Structure 1
Amino acid sequence: MGSGEAKAPRFMEFGGISYLIGWVTRPEARDRSGQDLVGLTLSQSLGPQDFSSFLSLASRQPVPDMPVKNPGKCITFVGQQVAATRMKLLDWAFFGGIIITMVFGCGRSAPQGEAATLPADSLTEAPSFDTKPDGETAPRVPGRLGASGSAMRKGEHATRGDIRIAVDQTLAPVIGAIVDNFTTIYPEAKITPIYLPGEEAIQRMLDSDSLRLVISTRRLSRDEEAYLRQQQVHPNYAVIGRDAIVVVTAEGNPTRRLTLDQLQAILTGQITRWDEIDPANGLGAISLVFDHAQSSTARYLQDSLLAGADFRQGGVFAAGSTAAMMREVANRPGALGLGGWAWVSDRDEPSRDSLMQGLGIVLLEGRKDNTECRYKQRFFGPHQSFTYWRCYPLTRTMTVISRETIFGLGTGLTSYIDSPPGQRIIHKAGLTAIHDIPRRVRMPAKEGAQQIE
């Protein structure tokens, strides 16, 4: 911490205590926000420039910069932001610490020239990168991640900054749409998504602290979490929705339904020919086509359906991506393809028709031990209603995994995805939003009756 950085005012401690009360009384907020705010609030002193980021994360939606130097404008800003959140009565405890912090902090400037005091175990070394004019990146000298700033933090905000994130490539269409919308709303935010096979995306985040977020289809394993904790990094999770693995065959294949036992037998090599499933199917040997050798598709199937067993030897291919997998299956009459549903879930997307050309979706038997499914039928496709109730057996969660220890741009993006606008994008993409999306329906009024909105 440089000598020019300020010591955070004492009033922040009262805000932290009030916030702690709300956090304890509403434990569901911990999972919903995806961040352990209490640990950060009570272990570090936040400076005035963190007010907007603090409110943005807690309210799960980005907010503009707070005019802390002008008391009148500052207090007006607080009222506007509180009204904009449309808080319910129970939310007042949760937001109490933030309101107290902001109101008592308005117009107060921290003394200059005094270093902030932080516990030694709350400091983390984290290299970051400057972008050169020619597009190359050069490592910056590592700085300590304190609350009032760091080498990685300078000039960054929940809606401003320049970061890279790793994204499971099976989720590329929907996450790309979310990032585009976020950066359009907040033009000072530059987010560069790096689309990678699921396992490679997680490994890249583990190996590189310049990637603060990974958007994946699973949580970290115990070994992966332990690896991060050895580096004094405590990963945070935010579940943002549900997607699925789609199973496809060539259009001319008459077999369009599989039980889970049959799918498991095909994956392990106990069933190798189509006529072992349907004697009338004369397409011969079954070849398996995955999207990628390191994809989250293969990892999910091995963990959830095969209980860790190995895939069969021989007749297994990796196409390189979900789109390539679909093209390959369309040209292989005896192939069975498995990939990310997000690539073809949006029926309004023009590219969906070209990807699905020459293909058919295989319906799968629901899990017999599933008590959530409200539908009585036996076979299901990977559609929204069936993934919402987990009737479709290859339903999986979309999860943001964060190693961010500051109220930065990664936190702002997570808040946006978790907010109604972000959830609408997920819903519009044909996937399942994790939160209910409010809708306003205008009912036509009958003659002589009052119109209801």
Structure 2
Amino acid sequence: MKIKKSWLALFAGIWGLYACNDSGTPLSTPTSGSTNISIDESFQPIMESVVDTFEGIYDRADIEAAYKSEGEVIKDFLNDSTRVVVLSRELTPEEAAVFEKKKMIPRTTKIAIDAVALITNPNNPDTLLTMEEVRSVFNGKTTSWKALEESSGLGDITIVFDNNNSSTARYVRDSLTTNQTLPKNTFAAKSHQALIDYVAQNENAIGVIGVNWISDLDDSTAINFLNKINVLGISEESNPVTTESFYQPYQAYIAQGVYPLRRFLYVISTEGRAGLGTGFASFLGGDQGQRIILKSGLVPATMPVRIIGLGNQ
């Protein structure tokens, strides 16, 4: 009996060393423990669903998700406040160099194709823009709705973002402006709800928002937002002949690549062992996570989107 007890004590001691770090805090596993993750707030609707599902499946997992502007997420990542982030871009060479100095290797996994939507007030009759016109607006060359449509009775254009430090503002600066600055008729509404409310109340506004906030047609919040605004159709042709050349940010058009304002969604981790953050990243890239992304209206990175064409009978 004494020998048996000695073996049990030895096993318990070994397990205690394995399951705890130097501070005595239990280590996480891919499906248990606790971890904090910083997430670009553009993806809050979909990521809340993924986190809830993950914690529902693995009841010993506790994920503290912080939804912040892209700039704040990067700040958290660089100063080691978190080891896992969800972003709409990969790290820059300068950011990657910070981790190289720490002898850490960030692991990047593409999990979805996303899009940026342009929204306007329901009373604005101009619901179609070419990419040439979009660039002109965000470069500050076109400042009135009348310059886009001569018969328009609207006034000067007001451009609205959710946050000056957001991923959508950075996307516009990088992709649509020539000198990576935004025009003077631009301001930040401080939140996605405030952005949509402003556009809904101001006829001259054009809002820039991550499509995730309006793409899930089973979500009551997304439906409520869509009832307040128009979503613009965009054409890459300079002189479109028909309205069929214009595309809204629907899932099928994002998947086909015909909607022009597309971007990718990534999960990036510096977790040096197989902890909860690594398990969550694997879940996002796996079958269950990809199915949630598919349902949300974004395009999953590893799961095909079924596109049904309806021809004339």
Is 1:169 aligned to 2:47, yes or no? no
The aligned residue for residue 129 of structure 2 is 258
Q: Does 1:192 align with 2:59?
A: no
2:74 pairs with 1:202: yes
User: For 1:68-107, what aligned pairs fall within 5 Å after superposition?
Assistant: none
Q: Confirm or deny: 8 A CA contact 1:173 1:342 kept in the other structure.
A: yes
The number of aligned residues is 288
Which deviates more, 303-312 or 410-419? 303-312
The alpha-carbon deviation at position 234 of structure 1 amounts to 1.5
Query: With structure 2 as the length reference, what TM-score do the two structures score?
Result: 0.86
Return the match for 2:180 from 309, 312, 329: 309
Change (3 A) 1:347 1:393: same
Amino acid at match of 1:304: S
The alignment status of 1:423 with 2:293, answered yes or no, reads no
| Residue 267 (structure 1) aligned with residue 134 (structure 2) | no
The equivalent residue for 2:5 is none
Amino acid across the alignment from 1:259: T
Q: Secondary structure at the match of 1:302?
A: helix
Q: TM-score, normalised by structure 1?
A: 0.60
Q: Note the alpha carbon deviations across 1:392-447, whole angstroms, 9 max, x for none.
A: 111111100111111000110011111111111111111111112699xxxxxxxx
| Partners of 1:420 and 1:437 within 8 A in 2 | no
Task: Write out aligned runs for 1:32-111 (5 A).
Answer: none
Structure 2 distance, partners of 1:258, 1:273, is 14
3-state SS, counterpart of residue 211 of structure 1: coil
Q: Which amino acid aligns with 2:32?
A: R
Residue 347 of structure 1: aligned partner: 217
Report the Cα offset of residue 306 of structure 1. Answer: 2.1
The aligned amino acid for 1:393 is P
Query: Would you say the 8 A contact 1:366–1:380 is kept in 2?
Result: no
Larger radius of gyration: 1
Cα displacement (A) at 1:151? 3.7
User: Are the aligned partners of 2:139 and 2:178 in contact in 1 as well (CA < 8 Å)?
Assistant: no
- In structure 2, the partner of 1:229 is 100
Which structure 1 residue ranges, 5 or more long, are not aligned?
Answer: 1-108, 116-146, 369-375, 440-453
Matches within 5 A, 1:326-345: 326-345=196-215
Task: Tell me, in whole angstroms, the C-alpha distance in 1 between the residues paired with 2:19 and 2:100.
Answer: 23
Q: Name the SS of the counterpart of 1:289 in structure 2.
A: strand
1:240 is aligned to: 111
Q: Which runs of 5+ in 2 are unaligned?
A: 1-10, 307-313
State whether structure 2 residue 266 is matched by structure 1 residue 395.
no
| Corresponding residue of 2:247 | 380
User: Aligned-pair distance for 1:352?
Assistant: 1.7
Partner of 1:100: none
CA distance in 1, matches of 2:305, 2:116: 27
> Which structure carries more relative contact order (alpha carbon 8 Å, separation 6+)?
2
Q: Aligned letter for 2:42?
A: T
Task: Spell out, residue by residue over 1:136-188, the C-alpha distance to the aligned partner (whole angstroms, 9 max, x if none).
Answer: xxxxxxxxxxx997448843110011110000001000001000000011011
Distance 1:352 1:179 in 2: 19
Cα deviation, residue 217, structure 1:
0.4
Q: Partner letter of residue 156 of structure 2?
A: A
Sequence identity of aligned pairs in percent? 32
Alpha-carbon distance change, 277 to 177 in structure 1, aligned in 2, over 3 angstroms: same
Task: Render the CA deviation track for 1:304-346: whole Å, top value 9, x for unaligned.
Answer: 2225521112x21101122211110011100000011101100
**Contact 1:323/1:343 (<8 A) preserved:** no
Range moving further from structure 2, 297-306 or 341-350: 297-306
Contact 1:367/1:393 (<8 A) preserved: no
User: Is 1:413 aligned to residue 287 of structure 2?
Assistant: no
Which SS does the other structure have where 2:86 is aligned?
strand
Tell me the CA shift for residue 358 of structure 1. 2.8
